[in-house]
């Protein structure tokens, strides 16, 4: 008999969610904790860590937090080793940490382009590389890369971000191809325009971009971090054991829609 609750349960699993001090990462980590997983996360500053740990505690989650720059391979290896020592082998990795720089391409410095690529693309490679040996030894694992609608589309001022997220989509497919035989599933989740601190500048009253997004979205609203919780649990659970190399777009229908006629 198909046991729905068991299929979607994460009871006893160990999940590492990068950049989970707030926003999308925090929502995913909370969903995993509610589904029974043990949570580890990282951020880059003590200020964010203090606020995050207070939020986790308020929600009744005993999370293990690390101040770790996920672009530094040695630091990531040390973090993963400590998680394995304290919680056990990582069963679920969510590569969520990322940044965006909204600068016209001709005005963007190469070092800024490289920084976005480093955090949004190279870091997921580094963290996945660190957790894969444990997953291979254990005989299963789930890697979920937070891609973007801009893994598929371009837009003004986000050349570095679209390049990174397009690359992350293909890294996802390649991890799935390379390690599927070891019972490791690697998938992406592609948020649309989500109401987070990162998108706050786009959602100000009277901003024409806000009107544009509402007109381009069949559901006529911005998404919320909570909209990503169910899809993220699905991709981390046994319910998705034969889903591999897939990007699940959670965008309110933008990629399916040309938009309302003027």
What residues are labeled active site? 161
Token digits for 210?
Answer: 């806000």
Under 8 Å between Cβ of 46 and 67: yes
Query: What single-letter DSSP state applies at residue 220?
Result: -
The rounded distance, in Å, linking the Cα atoms of 238 and 104 is 43
The rounded distance, in Å, linking the Cα atoms of 251 and 91 is 27
Under 8 Å between Cβ of 160 and 110: no
Which phi and psi (to 5°) does residue 17 adopt? -120, 115
The rounded distance, in Å, linking the Cα atoms of 111 and 212 is 31
- The β-bridge partners of 38 are 14
Q: How many CB atoms lie within 10 A of CB 106?
A: 6
What Cα–Cα distance (Å) separates residue 144 from each residue in 185, 192, 225? 8, 16, 16
Check residue 19 and give left, alpha or beta (phi > 0: left; psi -120 to 50: alpha). left
Strands 38-43 and 14-18: parallel
Give the three-class secondary structure for 93.
strand
């Amino acid at each position: 008999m198909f046991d729905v609750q068991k299929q979607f349960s994460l009871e006893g699993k160990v999940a590492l969610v990068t950049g989970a001090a707030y926003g999308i990462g925090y929502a995913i980590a909370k969903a995993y904790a509610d589904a029974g997983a043990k949570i580890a996360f990282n951020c880059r500053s003590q200020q964010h860590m203090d606020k995050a740990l207070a939020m986790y505690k308020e929600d009744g989650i005993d999370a293990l937090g690390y101040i770790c720059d996920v672009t530094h391979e040695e630091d990531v290896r040390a973090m993963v080793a400590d998680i394995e020592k304290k919680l056990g082998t990582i069963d679920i990795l969510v590569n969520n940490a990322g940044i965006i720089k909204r600068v016209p391409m001709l005005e963007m410095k190469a070092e800024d382009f490289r920084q976005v690529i480093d955090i949004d693309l190279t870091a997921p490679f580094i963290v996945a590389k660190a957790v894969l040996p444990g997953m291979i030894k254990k005989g299963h694992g789930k890697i979920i890369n937070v891609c973007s609608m801009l893994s598929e589309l371009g837009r003004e001022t986000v050349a570095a971000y679209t390049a990174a997220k397009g690359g992350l989509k293909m890294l996802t497919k390649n991890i799935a191809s390379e390690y599927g035989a070891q019972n490791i599933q690697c998938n992406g989740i592609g948020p649309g325009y989500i109401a987070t601190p990162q998108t706050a500048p786009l959602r100000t009253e009277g901003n024409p971009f806000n009107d544009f997004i509402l007109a381009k979205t069949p559901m006529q609203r911005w998404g919320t971090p909570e909209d990503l919780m169910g899809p993220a649990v699905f991709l981390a659970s046994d319910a998705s054991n034969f889903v591999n190399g897939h990007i699940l777009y959670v965008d309110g229908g933008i990629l399916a829609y040309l938009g309302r006629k003027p």
